[in-house]
Amino acid sequence: MLLLVTYSRRARERLRNACRTHEDVVVRRFGRAALLAPTELSAFLAVRLRAECGDDVQVERTEPFNEFEAVPEGVREAARAYADREHPSTPYSAFAAGTDHPDPETMREREL
Amino acid sequence: MSAVVTETAASSVRVVLDGRRFQGPAVDFRETRVAADDALAALDPERSGPDGLRIDAPEPGPLVETLGPVDGSRGADRGVLAAVARSRGHDAPQDDAIAEVRDRLAAVDPPTVDRRAMRRRLAETTAETDRLRERVAELRGRLQERRERGGDTATLAADLDEATDRLVDAETERVAARQRLDRAREAAREARDLRERRLELEDRLANRRREARAALADRALAGFVATLATVPAAADGLPSDPVAAELAAYRHGRPTAPVVLAADCFADAASAAAWLDAPVLRV
């Protein structure tokens, strides 16, 4: 899908108008951003907005997130284990210390 | 062509139309080709009216710029009433805040990095790399086959060498294009904090301006309503009548430039100028 984020009043207004006119390609709207269906019409709107508003619009292409495809097992397991932790106030770094779970610094450095 | 000029006590306007001069508080263009937009264009120092028309009058201030001609197209909304109040010399409590936000906004100038050419370059070099990779694979396959069959391989081997060299070059260019775009994207990402900041200021400015308009409109409202009741009978004088509302706004306000009148509600331009207490250009 295409994620459009606007950074000026003019760009925001144009995105709003485009979304109003082409409701069928709008998957979701968030204030000054919108997620558009992966269609040529969405791409047309994105390129047009880029041409009109330059850097005041950010266009990103998104894809569904499948942790079983994209995420190493250790990271997945750490996340699930942390979500199930006994003491909600334990920060993750303390939770991971002394276990096999990766520490936040290591994860930060590793690209997905 | 002629324009009818009538003298009254109201301050006057000087008009030159096709070499002929007219002067007075009211100039009637109805017998001429001058339309409302022409008159407004001729009044505006930043624009110019049609050839042959010159109007000597003070520049249109905020009231004339906001309200435009009396033709019923705008009526008197909050923005008009705020302009009326401004023309009467009122300030808004938000004025200092507005000036401050404007100054801060002027100081925010996020850099623009045009990445279009870089995106195109990356797409082109990627396509070229893919094409050459296929070509190399194809030549390699054919060469292998030829060798197995024991044919002459010299030409094919030379083609493969050349394609391989070109693939290496293309790959280098693709990597360079990728890196250039990545760097530019990184710079754009950093500039977005600044853009976000600017958007906040733009929103704040719009809010303060809206508040200022509301405050100013409040100050003008009572006088405007009282004036509306005195609009001559040709307009029905109801608040819903946009022409009556525009007349009342000009009458209650202090227009600096002549009022461009494009509606029938006075016997003639002179009585309009007298009632409005301002120069009138009747079109």
Q: B238 pLDDT exceeds 60?
A: no
- Angle at CA of residue B217, ends B66 and B227, nearest 5°: 85
Angle of helix A9-21 relative to helix B154-228, nearest 10 degrees, comes to: 100
Q: From the CA of B216, how many Å to the nearest CA of chain A? A: 24
Q: B246 pLDDT exceeds 90?
A: yes
**What's the confidence (pLDDT) of residue B169?**
97
Instruction: Assign A28 a pLDDT band (cuts: 50, 70, 90).
Output: very high
Q: B128 pLDDT exceeds 90?
A: yes
Task: Extract the tokens encoding B104.
Answer: 């801060």
Say whether residue B114 is in contact with chain A using an 8 A CB cutoff: yes
**What's the confidence (pLDDT) of residue B52?**
83
Question: Which has more confidence, B234 or B76?
Answer: B76
Q: B200 pLDDT exceeds 60?
A: yes
Beta bridge partners of B281: B27, B260
- Which of A49, A35, A48, A25 has its CA nearest to residue A3? A35
Say whether residue A14 is in contact with chain B using an 8 A CB cutoff: no
**What's the confidence (pLDDT) of residue B165?**
97
Instruction: Assign B8 a pLDDT band (cuts: 50, 70, 90).
Output: very low
- Mean pLDDT, residues B92-107: 97
Q: A79 pLDDT exceeds 50?
A: yes
Chain A residues in contact with B199 (beta carbon < 8 A): 7-9, 12, 32
**What's the confidence (pLDDT) of residue B1?**
42
* CB atoms near residue B224 (< 10 Å): 22
- Mean pLDDT, residues B63-75: 92
- Mean pLDDT, residues B171-197: 95
Instruction: Assign B5 a pLDDT band (cuts: 50, 70, 90).
Output: low
Say whether residue A48 is in contact with chain B using an 8 A CB cutoff: no
**What's the confidence (pLDDT) of residue B232?**
82
The complex scores an ipTM of: 0.81
**Beta B259-261 vs B53-56: how paired, if at all?**
unpaired
d(CA B55, CA B33): 15
- Burial grade of A33 (CB within 10 A; 0-12, 13-18, 19 or more): middle
Least confident of A55-69, B3-17, B48-62, B125-139: B3-17
Angle of helix B78-87 relative to helix B154-228, nearest 10 degrees, comes to: 70
Average pLDDT, chain B: 90
- Burial grade of A23 (CB within 10 A; 0-12, 13-18, 19 or more): exposed
Say whether residue A55 is in contact with chain B using an 8 A CB cutoff: yes
Indicate the helix (H) or strand (E) that contains A47: helix A40-53
Least confident of A30-39, B44-53, B189-198: B44-53
The residue of A52, A55, A57, A61 whose CB has the most chain B CBs within 10 angstroms, and thus the best one to mutate to test that interface, is A55
- Cα dihedral A38, A40, A42, A45 in deg (nearest 10): 160
- Given a contact cutoff of 8 angstroms between Cβ atoms, the answer to whether A7 and A59 are in contact is no
Task: Give the C-alpha distances (Å, rounded to integers) separating B24 from B8, B9, B13, B43, B275.
Answer: 7, 9, 5, 16, 15
Task: Extract the tokens encoding B228.
Answer: 């509306």
Chain B residues in contact with A12 (beta carbon < 8 A): 199
Q: Is A106 helix (H, G, I), strand (E, B) or coil?
A: helix
Which residues in chain B (177-216) have CB-CB distances under 8 A to chain A?
A: 188, 191-192, 195-196, 198-199, 202-203, 206
Say whether residue A4 is in contact with chain B using an 8 A CB cutoff: no
Question: Which has more confidence, B60 or A17?
Answer: A17
- The string over B173-202, giving b where at least 16 C-beta atoms fall within 10 Å of a residue's C-beta and e elsewhere, is bbeebeeebeebeeebeebbeebeebbebb
Beta bridge partners of B22: B15
- Given a contact cutoff of 8 angstroms between Cβ atoms, the answer to whether B221 and B80 are in contact is no
**What's the confidence (pLDDT) of residue B233?**
63
- DSSP alpha helices (H): ranges in B69-115? 78-87, 95-107
- DSSP alpha helices (H): ranges in chain B? 36-43, 62-67, 78-87, 95-107, 116-149, 154-228, 242-252, 269-276
**What's the confidence (pLDDT) of residue B9?**
42
